[in-house]
Amino acid sequence: MFSRKNQDQDRQTLSVRLFHTFADDSAMFDDDNLVSAAGLAPVMTLAEQTGLNGMFHEKITIGSPRIKSGTANPAPKLASLVAGMCAGADSIDDIGLLRSGGMTELFDGVYAPSTVGILLREFTFGHTKQLESVMREHLLALIARADLLPGAQTRTFVDIDSLLRPVYGHQKQGASYGHTKIAGKQILRKGLSPLAATISTDLAAPVVAGMRLRAGKTGSGKGAASMATAAISTARAAGATGEILVRGDSAYGTRKVVRAALRAGARFSLVLTKNAAVNTAIAAIGEDAWTPVRYPGAVRDPDTGEWISDAEVAEIAYTAFASTKDRTTARLIVRRVKDARYPDALFPLWRYHPFFTNSTEPTADADITHRRHAIIETVFADLIDGPLAHIPSGRFAANSAWVLCAAIAHNLLHAAGTLAGGPHTRARGATLRRKLVNIPARLARPQRRPVLHLPAHWPWADSWLALWHNTIGYTPPPAITA
């Protein structure tokens, strides 16, 4: 039992009180010089320096619009959409943030959310392909501007995966019931299914190399081969001169994806769906071939020095797709773990998880490398916590454009974090928005020179100023003439 004195002390410690006493009418939205997201100034300056507006203007062409006024000047409208996403917009209405207070003084040509919505609804499949080209070209420009892929000269990873975003209502084009996993259980859920490919290295967080929206009922592996080919090409163009490893789960362990990786000169590490041939290969592995693998939580035996873990790995040569012209012989690496459903069994019961790879790493290292494919889930978490919290439009092509703009915003925000330096180089999008983008500021003009006054004692002021100096204060190197 706490004494009354202790309770009073705790109440005084935990309470947060206003320093002033306000009247009921003491809060007013009337300041035209307040900027709610001052970090958008260096972020969108970076977008301009990497040619995003020019790419929109050059590549996005809407020839026969239904509403001509809505499709005029698509470049600044799409740039407004990307800016809103960088600030956390997850619906078209959220872009109205850019038209408040002093934001209109920072940016020229900010459009209303309704105007941006009209533009998105004019998009067709061909226009989304144009936007996909912008996303790829802009990613290459960002990589040339900021060191987004350190270590690409040694090894680069291309990860492919999909997710199901739930939608509601009866007017969402393409919405259908697809399989998804929640709390370890497979369920049917109505939604739309983006397919994504990311590029990362051992030292770098992933960037989005490709994204494509599909109907909810679409198989996870549909279109994966072409996306893998495009992502490998993007990685090469970005300076990945070392080994490229394509990783994916069982939906992508198909001969089309394997063939695409081999034709592009990349290696693969893909989960195989268990069938009779795979089960026969697993059964042929000798009991003495299994070795413990070092996972988080594993400890060393003080006597033998071996890792003590429930997980063990082994490998065997395996020929996949044997009845087709694409038969491929490589390593079948199998991880087995004790089945948690039978903790008291007299003999250990194992669950087997095979994947097919032509990498040259030792067995245990190859298994750990393959399991790091889950890094793509951090990208999905970023997008779900941001622009993909909702799929806003009833039109499928408009939603496809929304998804691609979300990928552009993700890459742009990650590049800004890289220029800010420190832990921001690998920070999540929500962290970057909180620390670098959504910072209030007051816009002043002493001697007609615009100045932003930001909060004193901002905890991440040094990183913000590093981003500011690397964008606003950036001087491009002089062009080399022949």
Q: pLDDT tens across 163-182, in order?
A: 999 998 788 899 898 888 77
Residue span of the structural domain in which 426 resides: 30-126+395-471
**Is 154 inside any structural domain?**
no
Residue 194: exposed, middle, or buried by beta-carbon count in 10 A (0-12, 13-18, 19+)? buried
pLDDT tens profile 19-45: 778 888 888 888 889 999 999 999 999
Residue 175 counted as domain residue: no
Residue 438 domain-assigned (yes or no): yes
Determine, yes or no, domain membership for 115: yes
Measured in degrees and rounded to the nearest 5, phi and psi for residue 225 equal -65, -45
Helices (H), 421-460: 429-432
pTM score: 0.90
Rg (CA), the chain: 26
Q: Which two tokens stand for residue 127?
A: 């226009």
Assigned domain for 103 exists: yes
Q: Please list, in sequence order, all residues whose beta carbon lies within 8 angstroms of the beta carbon of residue 388, skipping any fewer than 6 positions away.
A: 90, 165, 194, 403, 406
The answer to whether the CB of 266 falls within 8 A of the CB of 288 is: no
- Look at residue 435 and tell me whether its pLDDT is greater than 90: yes
Q: Is residue 321 part of a domain?
A: no
pLDDT of residue 68: 72
Asked if residue 234 belongs to a domain, the reply is no
Count the domains in the chain.
1
Q: Which two tokens stand for residue 288?
A: 């003495």
- Nearest in space to 426 (alpha carbons), one of 156, 232, 201: 201
Q: Is residue 72 part of a domain?
A: yes
The DSSP bridge pattern shows strands 185-201 and 155-162 to be: antiparallel
d(Cα 415, Cα 277) in Å, to the nearest integer? 45
The answer for residues whose C-beta is within 8 angstroms of residue 100's C-beta and 6 or more apart is 36
pLDDT band at residue 438 using 50, 70 and 90 as cut-offs? very high
Distance between CA 267 and CA 357 in Å, rounded?
Answer: 7
